[in-house]
Structure 1
């Protein structure tokens, strides 16, 4: 009986409270009390921001919050609702276009959001990339996820390539795709070739040597250390420039392979 009276009292307070008492009721563990808070005309944006920091809110309450603020929510509320890990996927998808670029990046990289939220935020960033200025792309490249880096490096700008190379989230497959895409030039190829993290990767070295845009210096440095099987495969590469092909043949003759 005492518990029922206490709950009834809290439910009534949630409807009538104001001031600091509203911030106290935001911590209540009973979802019914929280639902009643949403009906309180004094329960405003600051109270909602505190409430949305909780990671134990039921989906139904988050839907109710969305309904309450839809069409009139300030940016801070939209961001807080999108960041809550229990916010329904449909709500998150609707909110993401309203978030700023680096707020989306935070959703991708900081603890808290669910895998689905991270993926949706990544897709939203990728959709915006064609219209972003180089400065924003450079800032993104320093912190971005592997999926975003895979798109960014295709830009081909040497400054952007360098920023992507220095990001530990960059995957080898992104570099292989870039080298085969035709967008890599002599400068960006050399950036990859001399980067301390990537220069020892065998598949990358082969991809670099197969590119007709690769400067001759990398043939001079790498051909003597190339395995004979890889050297033969390189000799069969039709896309090589005349100078590159001559250097491969010279190395094969040295080994008695020609």
Structure 2
């Protein structure tokens, strides 16, 4: 017991140089004592946060100190650490700057719910961002952010968002299902060499009244009879699309209106 008390006292009063070694200690009590040391600096805390084995109690104690929660690097470290208590991780995430939020949303070490929360925060910020930041996010932001930027329909952003390696089919389908999506976005998806070849995207494009007629005609031969039948029953389907579908079904020897 005396030895432990001595070590705790040392942790509370160690010099900055001594702290460089103490941050690697395994004892939770000793690590908590380090946080009381007035010589503890950002660099020491960041080394602690780099430890994937850091106990949640220590992470919670770091997050409970206003001094450290006011530090951007520490906030990011707390938010993406797998053992940080969820409430503290979320509080840290909400205060992050834009591109640290991007880093968090893509961090493999961060829990899935924290990454998703970071994406959600980014999506809410998208409308207020200047065009330069939107272009950067469209190029390398996470899937939901790329989808939100694509749906806005800014001419410079559309191409970058569609080329984003994190963009998923589900996000493209979500954009196409949005009745308010600009026509130029639908046209860009219909002409994109990757997304226009995805079967589910083609179905969504044929269903979308803003898809250019030449694209609709190009996609119809690849759609199943069942999907053609289902689309033909959509209320409000443009008359020209309905005629295209009826012609395609007749070409296959299937009378329109007959069950596929």
Q: What's the TM-score, normalizing by structure 1?
A: 0.81
Q: Pick from 76, 80, 85: which aligns with 1:79?
A: 76
Give the number of equivalent residue pairs.
Answer: 255
Larger Rg: 1
Give yes or no for the alignment of 1:198 onto 2:195: yes
Structure 2 residue runs of 5 or longer lacking an equivalent are none
Q: Kindly state the Cα deviation for residue 59 of structure 1 after the two structures are TM-superposed.
A: 2.0
Counterpart secondary structure, 1:39 = coil
Which range moved further: 105-114 or 69-78? 69-78
Inter-partner Cα distance in structure 2 for 1:231 and 1:75: 53
1:36 counterpart residue number: 33
Q: Is the 8 A contact 2:119 2:144 kept in 1?
A: yes
Q: Is the 8 A contact 1:211 1:239 kept in 2?
A: no
Counterpart secondary structure, 2:197 = coil
2:51 counterpart residue number: 54
Structure 1 residue runs of 5 or longer lacking an equivalent are none
Q: What's the TM-score, normalizing by structure 2?
A: 0.81
CA RMSD of aligned residues (A): 2.9
Cα deviation, 1:161-191, whole Å, max 9, x if unaligned, reads 3333223433333323322322344432232
Give yes or no for the alignment of 1:143 onto 2:170: no
1:112 counterpart residue number: 109
Q: Kindly state the Cα deviation for residue 224 of structure 1 after the two structures are TM-superposed.
A: 4.6
Q: Kindly state the Cα deviation for residue 45 of structure 1 after the two structures are TM-superposed.
A: 2.7
Which range moved further: 6-15 or 196-205? 6-15
1:18 counterpart residue number: 15
Give yes or no for the alignment of 1:65 onto 2:69: no
* CA spacing shift, 1:90–1:253, aligned 2, 3 Å: closer
What pairs with 1:226-245 in structure 2 (closer than 5 Å)?
226-245=223-242
Q: Kindly state the Cα deviation for residue 147 of structure 1 after the two structures are TM-superposed.
A: 3.3
Q: Pick from 200, 208, 213: which aligns with 1:211?
A: 208
Cα deviation, 1:67-108, whole Å, max 9, x if unaligned, reads 334487333333333333222111122222321111011111
Which range moved further: 43-52 or 244-253? 244-253
Which range moved further: 50-59 or 179-188? 179-188
2:166 counterpart residue number: 169
Inter-partner Cα distance in structure 2 for 1:179 and 1:87: 37
Give yes or no for the alignment of 1:97 onto 2:108: no
* CA spacing shift, 1:36–1:214, aligned 2, 3 Å: closer
Which stretches of structure 1, 4 residues or longer, exceed 6 Å deviation after superposition?
none
